[in-house]
Amino acid sequence: MKNKMWAPWRMEYITKAAKDDGKCLFCKVLKQKASKNNLVVYSSKHSLVMMNRYPYNNGHLMVVPKNHTSNYDGLSKTENDDLHETLRLSIRVINKVYKPQGCNVGMNIGRVAGAGIDSHIHYHVVPRWNGDTNFMPVIGEVKVISEHILGSYDRVAKAFKEVSK
């Protein structure tokens, strides 16, 4: 066995996944008030933005339509326009807060495409920096996230308030 790497935050993910009741995570969140508990940083008429609890990089956001659909064509033009305006706003916030050198933006539609939550489409917005993929994830199979999720939440939620005025 190679060197041991500790990632204690994974236990929360494993434990919650085992208790998953099969209901859509995003629909559960939509029934709640935006807060640090559910990591919702912004909400528009037809979309919401939340921090990814298990991020690939600091500031990893998910932009979610409020309409529960697994099909991109399941959104009306109004919902689609709102989703993409919210996506644009999210990228502006990421650029303001983290000053990345680039950004990955993507939507996985369907489980075979890599969707972890395949019943409710959503975009991932992941800030990227030159050299952010180094030996840790490649050799050690561990990703180092340097900022606590609640610290990220505070910074991103504040920036959404400033940018969306």
Beta-carbon neighbour count of residue 158 at 10 Å?
14
| H-only helix segments in the chain | 9-19, 25-30, 77-98, 135, 149-163
Q: Which of 153, 150, 148, 124 is nearest to 161 (CA)?
A: 153
Q: Which of 125, 129, 57, 60 is nearest to 100 (CA)?
A: 129
Q: Which residues are catalytic?
A: 122
The dihedral built from the CA positions of residue 164, 157, 95 and 108, taken in this order, carries a sign that is negative
Q: Which of 81, 73, 71, 72 is nearest to 45 (CA)?
A: 81
Beta-carbon neighbour count of residue 22 at 10 Å?
5
Q: Which of 165, 156, 145, 151 is nearest to 9 (CA)?
A: 145
